[in-house]
Amino acid sequence: MASDRRVHYIMVFRSIDGREGGVTTNQFDDESLEAAVRTAERMSGLFVPRDKGDFKTPRPGFEYPKTAAWNDTTYGLSTETRALVAREVIEPAEAKEMLSAGYLEVRGEQYGEYWPDGRVVFGTCTQAQCSTTVRDATGTGSGWAGLSGTDWSAIDTKALAARALQKAIASRNPVSLEPGRYTVILEPQAVHDLISILIASLQRRSPDLGFGPYTLGYDAALGLFRTKLGLKVVDERITIEHDPSDPLLGVLPFDEQNYAVPYRPVKWIDHGILTALADNRAYSLETRNDNLPSAQSSSFRMSGGDTTMEEMIKGTKRGLLVTRFSNMRLLDLNSLLSTGLTRDGLWLIENGQISKAVKNFRFTESPLFVLNSLDQLGVPVPVYRPHEEIGVTPAIVPPIKARDFSFTSTIDAI
């Protein structure tokens, strides 16, 4: 499969006192644009006001951060070059009589908002992503590797192909282990898959309403729920933050899902202490009269250490090395207890060495528990986090070694 797509559209919104209506069109002639405006006007009279807090206080003249989200090399990657890259990824697997599949995409986006008072907000970003899975013909081994980012030239596709192939070969003919609690070494992609559950939970609205992992309890004297803000919630070595100016994150300077309100730098967790929770501007205005830029972003950087994965393995008497997780689901919001599957490479570590491939497990675990059971952390690196409905949301995370990770059953999938 190969394709090139160009999509252009204009969204017209009309909002008065919280009553809003909108329409999207890909026709840019004067007649079509006027029809879109009239349709938005009609629609705005059909609905009750939404998010009153977003309109009761005038929107200030926000300053937008300078971001490093656009890369000409990414945008200029041709179809022919992509085809050659795909062949370079496939050929090593074919040479070893293995099966391979993958996905390669580059995209560029331009987003602008134009307001009746003359304000203009405009941003551009690019993203490149490449992932590949290699399996043996008998279906007993599988390896995966992937990476995404703003700059295509920073993705070493030959290294990805070699890593996926090596994992596929090394994971053949796995043995069964009994479920239980194991010391784990999680590669950066596995850390991302797990910590994304925590990132999604960092919402101010939940503890304000008395639920979620950051609710401390109800204060009868004040008549509100207290939160864990200012309290230690994970290991003191952990800081989780978002900075739109971070050159390795490469995000738009504003929230395109929320009236182009700019992002601001924020540390949700600072050396283990919960220091901020995310919310949109409407909720901030309604509950705290907070007219600040948005702290609600799914893009994040997690702190790490300087221990290499080789050193983690060498110092492990018995444990498991995990490539990545899949099929992640949240089971309990209050504890962040989640479940998912190990995939594409799981190995037993014995006496400081990888001894054998292991059949995959289902796990049932909370990222909060894992981040309170840390032994070692490695250097944070970008991981595979492709474009989502909410836009480009890259992540930078370290590998980690943690104690007592709960695996609850074996699975047959590779």
pLDDT in tens, 81-126: 999 999 999 999 999 999 999 999 999 989 888 877 788 888 899 9
Tell me what pLDDT residue 294 has: 62
Q: State pLDDT tens for residues 84-93.
A: 999 999 999 9
Tell me what pLDDT residue 348 has: 98
Q: Which residue has the tokens 């675990």?
A: 365
- Which tokens go with 269? 């967790």
pLDDT of 177 strictly over 70: yes
Ramachandran quadrant class, 210 (left: phi over 0; alpha: psi -120 to 50; beta: rest): left
Tell me what pLDDT residue 281 has: 66
How far apart are alpha carbons 367 and 19 in whole angstroms? 40
Beta bridge pairs of residue 273: 232, 270
Q: State pLDDT tens for residues 216-254.
A: 888 888 888 888 999 999 999 999 999 989 988 888 888
Considering only residues 176 and 290, tell me which one the structure prediction assigns the higher pLDDT: 176
Tell me what pLDDT residue 249 has: 87
- Which tokens go with 217? 């309890």
C-alpha distances in Å from residue 357, one per residue of 101, 213, 238, 247 = 22, 35, 31, 38
How far apart are alpha carbons 191 and 322 in whole angstroms? 9
How far apart are alpha carbons 291 and 261 in whole angstroms? 10
Least confident of 35-49, 63-77, 152-166, 273-287: 273-287
Tell me what pLDDT residue 56 has: 43
For residue 287, the one-letter residue type is T
Residues 6+ apart with CB under 8 A from 343: 142, 144, 323, 324, 325, 326, 360, 413, 414
- Chain Cα centroid distance, residue 121: 25
Ramachandran quadrant class, 411 (left: phi over 0; alpha: psi -120 to 50; beta: rest): beta
Beta bridge pairs of residue 358: 175
Residue ranges of domains in the chain, CATH in brackets = 10-50 (no CATH), 72-170 (3.30.2290.10)
Q: Which residue has the tokens 């695996």?
A: 407
First CA to last CA distance, the chain: 25
Report the relative pairing of strands 300-302 and 395-397 from DSSP bridges. parallel
Least confident of 42-46, 68-72, 387-391: 387-391
- Chain Cα centroid distance, residue 155: 18
- pTM (2 decimals)? 0.90
- Among 52-66, 187-201, 221-235, 390-404, which range has the highest average pLDDT? 187-201
Residues 6+ apart with CB under 8 A from 7: 26
How far apart are alpha carbons 29 and 23 in whole angstroms? 15
DSSP 212: S
DSSP 152: G
Q: H-helix or E-strand containing 226?
A: strand 224-227
